[in-house]
Amino acid sequence: MKILTVVGARPQFIKAAPVSRILRQHHTEFLLHTGQHYDDAMSDLFFRQLAIPAPDLNLEVGSGRHGAQTGAMLPGIELVAIEQRPDWILIYGDTNSTLAGALVGAKLHIRVAHVEAGLRSYDRRMPEEVNRVVADHLSDILLSPTDAAVANLAREGITEGVRMVGDVMYDAFAQNLEVARRSHGILAELGLERGGYALLTVHRAENVDDLERLRTILQGVSEAGIKVVFPVHPRTRAAFGSAGAKPGPNVMLIDPVGYLEMLVLEENAETIVTDSGGVQKEAYFAGRPCITLRDTTEWNETVAAGWNVLVRIDSNAIASAIREFRPKGERPNLFGDGHAAGRVVDALSAVKVANP
């Protein structure tokens, strides 16, 4: 069986790594990188650290407006799909690469499998919400990470082809955490101590493109009264100058880090402050309090469990949450047993395909 895997952004590299490892033991995979994330720190470094085979093709679409970026991906993915004649197009998550892969599969009548199906924030202002809804409704197999995701699909009338497999990002976390601990001394390099800092990530358009929101976030973390380590996404760094934003002396700006370094920073942080869906999960995996700089989240399970709190973009609210939000309850097992990737491959293998 031949699988065309479409990836393009940092979270998708993480999700694809454990699946590709098992997939290639039994089937043929053509790995297509759209180039949505393209510099070394956001792309090539992740392939090296996660031991993902080099992409068979990189479309190198780069950044751009949503319509232009998605439109640039479509002809490249379509051409590869026509040439390779895969049995499945395998897509991950909710990026523009996800949407483009789903559209090509639907147009060419190639079966589509969506890993991380069923997530919903119920906020259509988020481009990712639109991407995931469309991808789910175009997919033939929907590989959901949690029971809540399965229930979301059922509410939309999608029950056929749905499989609850667990979360492949938890697979990657479990497989790489000990490696990260042994091989990366980033705490010493940055002069950090375990539990002596908050970890901040900000990259979403609603927080970065709105300069007033960006200034408010930086003011809130600057007033929190503890050291804040901030790996700065290229999108965010570009916005600093436009916003006239200058973090306080307690905020340490660093370049983007690799996956293994990020695991170490997450595990040893006192708290994690983010607008990233993937980092919300990794905070939960690591047992760290998570403060989410958004009005909604697709990972409502982590909020219900008491380990994630949504904070409005208000400097006082942000500073207060960083100082005070310290959950002490149990963390239910929401994301599976670390073997989701095997279930993904089993689900693909179990379906007899007859694509044109």
Question: Active-site residue among 184, 203, 233, 339?
Answer: 203
SS (H, E, C) the chain: CEEEEEECCHHHHHHHHHHHHHHHHHCEEEEEECCCCCCHHHCHHHHHHCCCCCCCEECCCCCCCHHHHHHHHHHHHHHHHHHHCCCEEEEECCCHHHHHHHHHHHHHCCEEEEECCCCCCCCCCCHHHHHHHHHHHHCCEEEECCHHHHHHHHHCCCCCCEEECCCHHHHHHHHHHHHHHHHCCHHHHHCCCCCCCEEEECCCHHHHCCHHHHHHHHHHHHCCCCCEEEECCHHHHHHHHHHCCCCCCCEEEECCCCHHHHHHHHHHCCEEEECCHHHHHHHHHHCCCEEECCCCCCCHHHHHCCCEEECCCCHHHHHHHHHHCCCCCCCCCCCCCCCHHHHHHHHHHHCCCCCC
Whether 66 is catalytic: no
Which of 268, 303, 304 minimizes the C-alpha distance to 288? 268
Which amino acids are annotated catalytic? 203
